[in-house]
Every structure is written in C-alpha cells, then in structure tokens.
Amino acid sequence: MTAMTLQPHYRTVWISDVHLGTRGCQADLLLDFLNEVTADTYYLVGDIIDGWRLKKSWYWPESHHAVITTIMDKAKNGAKVIFVPGNHDEFAREFVDMTFGHVDVKMNDIHETADGKRLLVIHGDEFDGVVKYARWLAYLGDTAYNLAIVLNRYYNGIRRRLGYGYWSLSAYLKNRVKNAVQFICNFENAVAHEAAKRKVDGVVCGHIHHAEKRMIGDVLYCNDGDWVESCTALVEDMNGKLELLHWAEMRQMAMSHSNPGRDASNAPSLGLGKLISMFRIAHSTGSSTSGASKKRNDAPIGKTA
C-alpha cells in the first residue's frame, strides 16, 4: 500500500503556537504533518505567526511561506479553516468575524464533536497574568525563551550528528522548574474554570506550549501544544474521539524502524496511517497487565512515557 492509501481522514485538527517568523519554528515537520493529514476542519489556535519577533527582525524562509500556502490550499479546496489569533499574532484580532482566503477569523469558537460534546476553542493568553497585566515582563520572557530555543537548535544539531532523536531543552526546563510547573497548573485550572462558566463540556487551547488532554473536574481540558518544542496536534476522529499526536517522536521512531540512524526531519514521508498503526501496535504489545495496558492505551499517540 502507498502512503496515500494509508492516509487517514480526521474530522477536526487543532494546531497552535507555530511561531512562523522565528528560527525555532519546526516548519518542515509541520509541513510533513499537514501533507499527511486530511480533515474536514482545521483550527489554528493562535500564535501561528510571531508578530513580536518579526517586528524585531525579519525572518521568513521558504518553509514558513509553504506552511501558509498549504493551509490556504486546504481552505480553498473545501476544508473549513478557523483562525483564532493569539497574543503573538494579535494584529489579526482587528479582523475578527471576517473571512480572508476562505479562512474564518474568530476570537473564540464553540466546536461540537461527533459525539455531541461542546468544546470552547480559545488561544488562552487572556488567562496568563503576565501577558495581561505585565506586558513588559512577557516581552522579557519571550526574549529568554527564544535564547533557549537557539541553544536547543544547536544542541539538537549535535544530537542528530550522533544519531540521537529530537529532545526539547526548553520543555525539559519548564517541567523541572517549580514556578513554571505551578504556572502551567494555574493556567490549566483557570481555562477549565472558564469552560465550566460557559457551560461547555471541554476546552481546547494553546499558549503555554504544553500538550495535555485530561479531565479537570467535569471539564475536558485539551492543549494542542506547539510546533517549536513538542510538535504536537490535537485530532478528532469521525466518532468524536480526541487524541494528541506527537509528530516529532512519531517520525523519529518510524525512522528508527525503517532506517536506523537516519535523521527523521529529512526522511521521506511514510504515511500518517502507517505511523499511527505502528504506535498502536507498540502500545498494545507488552501490555500484559490490565493496569499497564490502560496506562499505555491512554497515552498520547507518539508520546513516550
């Protein structure tokens, strides 16, 4: 079978925090993902273009342009594309409730899944106290974050030459620093509280570059992550089931099976369907106890424990 025949079709795909216009953007991996995915609806959940960084210095390689044209082509060819601007592309908030090139711009949206759940779709920066009340500190934090991304790029260049897969330094630091962990927890609780106030079943957001899908009280909290560190997307199948796809890890593992030692970012496409099948088989194999089986099957596709 060819990659095309293995290509699944999703009902909905959510991506955010791509940060086109920055050197840390993993545009090639996102293009690979977009070329493997078909869907009825695509949500762009903010910070797709990094206006903050582009104001300071212009950086716009062909791969970043290709991401925009690929998304626009999907919209032109019949897919529904909804853009919810974030704080880094807040310039687009001037065009809320307008349509450009078949792309609808909305401040937020309510998405109904195939099984009837109502999900609030927001970027989430309005629940970040630093962005809301201390903008200067947000800019300072953005500068420090970009420095970490630069260091991360050099570090992963060395890892690739040594035959190792991608590893996110900034994600590691966020998960180890107590204040960062507390910030993420506070953010998640605040977003879930807003969803509960609006009497919806769940929420899909971005902003904090931390992919997650879990229940917070009675609210299903979903964060689709980013395309700078983790390269993740949230997807809904035709039955309404939601999954997180960790694309960089999926590609790396797939290449380790098909061609050990090769860099996944430069690998030819293997087909999203084949990759997902590989991970589902891997998760089910070796799950001898019921407790272990449940833990593996609930894990995001492509996410290693």
CATH code for position 55: 3.60.21.10
Where does the pLDDT of residue 179 fall: very low under 50, low under 70, confident under 90, or very high at 90 and above?
A: low
Axis-axis angle for helices 247-258, 272-284 (nearest 10): 80
Tell whether 32 is covered by a domain: yes
Burial 233-247 (b: 16+ CB within 10 A, else e): bbbbeeeeebbbbbb
Q: Is residue 132 part of a domain?
A: yes
Q: Over 90: is that where the pLDDT of 104 sits?
A: yes
CA atoms within 13 A on the CB side of 151: 12
Among 220-229, 242-251, 290-299, the range with the most confident prediction by mean pLDDT is 220-229
**Residue 285 domain flag:** no
Bigger pLDDT: 263 vs 229: 229
More confident residue, 132 or 129: 129
Residue 181's domain comprises 11-270
Confidence of residue 184 (pLDDT cuts 50, 70, 90): confident
- Residue 186 banded pLDDT, cuts 50, 70, 90: confident
Whether 297 is in a domain gets the answer no
Number of domains into which the chain is organized: 1
210 within a domain of the structure (yes/no):
yes
Count Cα neighbours of 82 within 13 Å in the Cβ-side half-sphere.
19
60 occurs within a structural domain: yes
Q: Which residues contact 81 (CB under 8 A, 6 or more apart)?
A: 41, 42, 44, 71, 74, 75, 102, 103, 104
* Residue with the larger pLDDT of the pair 266 and 217: 217
pLDDT at 285 over 90: no
Is residue 82 assigned to a domain? yes
pLDDT of residue 176: 57
Number of H helices, E strands in the chain: 10, 12
Digit-coded pLDDT (tens) for 23-50? 989 999 999 999 988 899 999 999 999 9
Residue 150 belongs to what H/E stretch?
Answer: helix 135-161
Within a domain: 281: no
